[in-house]
Amino acid sequence: MSFFTSANLDIAREIVSRYPVPRSALIPLLHLAQEQHGWVTDDAMREIADLCGITPAEVKGTGSFYEMFKFGPVGSYLINVCTNISCMLLGGEELLDHAQQRLGVKTGGTTDDGMFTLEDVECVAACTEAPCLQVNYRYRLRVTNNDFDEMIDDIRAGRVDDLPQHGTLARIRQRIPTDKLAGVVHPDDAREAPVWLARNAAEDSVVG
Amino acid sequence: MATNGYVAHAPGYVDNEGPKIVSERFGYADSFTLARFEATGGYEGLRAALARRPADVHDEVRSATVLGRGGAGFPAGVKWGFLPPGKFPYYLVVNGDESEPGTYKDRLLMERDPHQLIEGCLITCYALGLTQCFLYVRGEMALAQERIATALNEAYDAGYVGRNILDTDFSVDIVLTWGAGAYIVGEETALIESLEGNRGMPRLKPPYFPAAIGLYGQPTIVNNVETLANLGWLLVNGAEQYKSYGSEASPGTRLFAVSGHVRRPGVYEVEHGVTTFRELIYGDNFCQGIREGHELKMFIPGGGSAPWFFEEHLDLPLEAGPVGAAGSMLGSGAIVVMDDTTDAVKATLRVVRFFARESCGKCTPCREGTTWEERILQRILDGEGRHSDIDMLLDIGDNISPGPYPVAANPHEGLEAVPFPPKQTTICPLGPSSVAPIVSTIRRFRHEYEAKITRRDSIPVRAQGVFVTECSSD
Ligand SMILES: Cc1cc2nc3c(=O)[nH]c(=O)nc-3n(C[C@H](O)[C@H](O)[C@H](O)COP(=O)(O)O)c2cc1C
Ligand code: SF4
């Protein structure tokens, strides 16, 4: 039983190794699972539980608190329309209505062909560019009904290249070269003051 | 749309005239690269810090009075002083969870100038002896995560982050980490819970600051992205120069996002404490007034959690003191402007629904109260309201936040302002925040509520779906 591909398993282990306590890697690993599969499966949760040293129930119990994690299939493209105050003032709710009609699904629904899932979303920090939406967490700003229709057509026709599969967040990962690693700091390590604080005892400023 | 082979910058930022501290590099297409950062004085602040004693760096920040930009406006230098001496290790947690309705500035800072943020983290860790830093970015902000990951990779390779930074004895790792869609995780103790791999629910206070007990039970500094973004500039230019901008109580500059019904919405870097709401909303250099043919009805001065302001507040400066005395807060630097087409009840419902959805559910007054507030507002808006609903809304609010709730004066009815902040029966301020729009609009636009409710009374009882039988009097 292995959910993660071997490449992703290496990434998962590296992520875990950056935190003093493995459980801290829980959210990043759930994202990694979602990136690989589009949503979080039971197998994924079992494997994440092993990696974090907790039970699968704890993984689900924590993961289900967070709206971004999907525990069942969703469309290849997740469309989140903002209807919070700044967007509402400039037509966010009307845009969501239009999106429902155009896609033929209600908020929360997925189109029959499995292409699109439509959701409304709370403020995504683009308030000056209202109304806005995100597709797989990439922004579309000052969206008119026409823009929306064109976007759907373009995605269906494969004319859009800035949208990775649902679940993919940053396409560039942090890597810490081993020779540059300062070291994970465990809370229980009885620790002296970090060495550089000794400079405070110096009479004058020290030049580094 | 690509510029120089890069993804175009997210729009929103307006490069207006005035002093710039944190948005200085925003105009460059490659503002987020190490090459641009170094070419424009980047990491000079880190060098300046490393040339001094850590305690002196702390003093510089303390004397500059760098106010926290996350919402509470607490001075960073003072908060840093709450670390219990000797209880190592200490951690730094960076709050990049920006999700307060109307707030749009941390995302710009992370996408456009990630090295500036990294430099701020390094200066903080050096000054206080923090030995690991976690940079927590909101889950939905994929590009910000990408830019920070790239910047960290560059900075590690160039020796700015990690072991023996710039060949000194200073070493610290910065770990990029992220959330997954929950507003409440922006509250600092919920953020720490989330970072520990738990549901993002705020912790009981006291302790009031994670500086006492934070990540993994250790002393932890939590600061907002914008707060830290100021530090590189501060270390190069000094506290005196910093204080030459803004007012005495609120020195420096601050990013304000102005959205809604204005002609030129945008994120503006403005002098803190001296610029007024009127200048920002109406000034040529800023938003240039309300959209064509309309007038101001009301505005939110500090993000979704803030009580609302009106015409007569326009001449207040963007400063915590006067804004608090007038019944609201500057919060997270988010101003939402609403013109005369706005339905006060509908706008109230929209903000309240946000809090109802985002309540973490830990305390009963918030979990139940915000849900009831939403339902009652919805039925008023649907023409199904009852006359007792207005009092019921206020009563529910009083359960979440007892006593007079902070609210603006209503000069038309001779009602005085109630100063900020509210009291709370809850663990965190989210529940009480839901009361802000309700109290603000009932006090000012009660007639709009009543008009919607009376409309229902004019509908024949039979049409309301109630079965009525005629009674005879004998
Ligand atoms: C409900 C709630 C949400 C919050 N959201 C954020 C947020 O998204 N970003 C942020 O920096 N601070 C947020 N805060 C404030 C943080 O708790 C904390 O005060 C802040 O991060 C400290 O940084 P500063 O002192 O640099 O401002 C929130 C507070 C509450 C009560
Ligand atoms: S006030 Fe609301 S969001 Fe805050 S801890 Fe209580 S239930 Fe959670």
Which candidate in A55, A81, A127 is best for mutational testing of the B interface (most B CBs within 10 A)? Answer: A127
The structural domain count of chain A equals 2
- Pull the structure tokens for residue B264: 């030129």
Distance from CA of B266 to the nearest CA of A (A): 5
- Torsional class of B394: left (φ above 0), alpha (ψ -120 to 50), beta (otherwise): alpha
Pair A123, A137 in one domain: yes
Ligand 2 atom with the smallest distance to the CA of B184 is 3
Pocket test for ligand 1, best of B67, B100, B329, B401 (most atoms within 8 A of CB): B100
Of the candidates A115, A25, A99, B204, the residue with the CA atom closest to the CA atom of residue A107 = A99
B421 by Cβ neighbours in 10 Å (0-12 / 13-18 / 19+) ranks as: middle
DSSP letter, residue B53:
-
Contact A200 B131 (CB under 8 A): no
Whether residue B1 contacts residue B8, with contact meaning beta carbons closer than 8 Å, is answered with yes
Question: In this structure, are A57 and A123 located in the same domain?
Answer: no
Distance CA B116, CA B150 (A): 13
Count of residues in chain B: 474
Q: Tell whether A96 and A149 lie within a shared domain.
A: yes
Q: What pLDDT is attached to residue B11?
A: 82
Task: Encode pLDDT of A151-207 as tens digits.
Answer: 999 999 999 988 999 999 999 999 999 999 999 999 998 679 999 999 999 865 544
Q: Is B33 in the pocket of ligand 1 (CB under 6 A)?
A: no
Partner residue facing A126 (CB), from B104, B152, B354: B104
Q: How many residues make up chain A in this entry? A: 208
Measured CA angle at B45 (ends B44, B50), to 5 deg = 95
State how far residue B413 is from chain A, nearest Cα, in angstroms.
Answer: 28
Task: State whether A105 and A143 are in the same domain.
Answer: yes
Q: Do A38 and A84 fall into the same domain?
A: no
Both A11 and A44 in a single domain? yes
Residue B132 is nearest to which of A25, A169, A185, comparing CB atoms? A185
- The answer to whether residues B335 and B323 touch, using CB atoms and an 8 Å cutoff, is no
CA–CA separation, A42 vs A92, rounded Å? 35
Give the nearest chain A residue to B168 (CA atoms): A208
Averages of pLDDT over runs of 10 residues in chain B (474 residues) are 48 91 96 98 98 98 98 97 96 98 98 98 98 98 97 98 98 98 97 98 96 97 98 98 97 98 97 96 97 97 98 97 97 97 98 98 97 98 94 98 97 96 97 98 97 72 48 47
CATH level 2 (architecture), domain B253-339: Roll (3.10)
Residues of B in contact with A65 (CB under 8 A): 182, 199-200, 360
CB atoms within 10 A of CB A112: 9
Q: Do B161 and A69 touch (CB under 8 A)?
A: no
Spell out which residues of chain B touch residue A199, defining contact as CB-CB under 8 Å: 53-54
CB count in 10 Å sphere of residue B297? 21
Last residue of a domain, one of A48, A71, A94: A71
Looking at chain B, which residue has its C-alpha nearest residue A173? B149
* B7, amino acid identity: V
ipTM: 0.96
Looking at this protein, which amino acid is placed at residue A19? Y
Q: Whose CA is nearest to atom 4 of ligand 2?
A: B428
User: What's the confidence (pLDDT) of residue B468?
Assistant: 44
Ligand 2 near B366 CB (within 6 A): yes
d(CA B225, CA B135): 9
CATH code for the domain in which residue A106 is found: 3.40.30.10
Q: Which CATH code fits B344-452?
A: 1.20.1440.230
Q: Is residue A162 part of a domain?
A: no
Range B34-243 has CATH code 3.30.530.20: no
Nearest residue of chain A to residue B200 (CA atoms): A65
Which structural domain range is residue A47 located in?
Answer: 6-71
Domain boundaries, chain B: 34-243, 253-339, 344-452
A166 is a domain residue: no
- Strand ordering across the sheet containing B296-300: B266-271, B253-260, B334-339, B296-300
CA of B223 relative to ligand 1 center, distance in Å? 8
Q: Does the beta carbon of B82 lie inside 6 Å of ligand 1?
A: no
Instruction: Report which of B78, B149, B163 is spatially closest to residue B118, judged by C-alpha positions.
Output: B149
Mutate to test the pocket of ligand 2, among B205, B355, B363, B399 (most ligand atoms within 8 A of CB): B363
Contact B53 A177 (CB under 8 A): no
In a domain, A173, yes or no: no
Asked whether residue A102 is domain-assigned, the answer is: yes
Q: What residues in B contact A168, CB-CB < 8 Å?
A: 142
The reply to whether ligand 1 has any atom less than 6 angstroms from the CB of B252 is: no
pLDDT of B460 reads 53
- Domain boundary (A126, A156, A186) is at A156
What is the chain B residue with the closest CA to A200? Answer: B53
Taking an 8 Å cut-off on Cβ atoms, the answer to whether A88 and B350 are in contact is yes
Domain CATH code at residue A28: 1.10.10.1590
Query: Considering the domain boundaries, does residue A165 fall inside one?
Result: no
Question: What is the pLDDT at residue A189?
Answer: 84
Among A171, A185, A191, the residue to mutate for chain B (most B Cβ within 10 A): A185
Question: Is residue A57 assigned to a domain?
Answer: yes
- Residue B360 CB less than 6 A away from ligand 2: yes
CA B431–ligand 2 middle distance (angstroms)? 6
Indicate yes or no: CB of B102 within 8 angstroms of CB of A123. Answer: yes
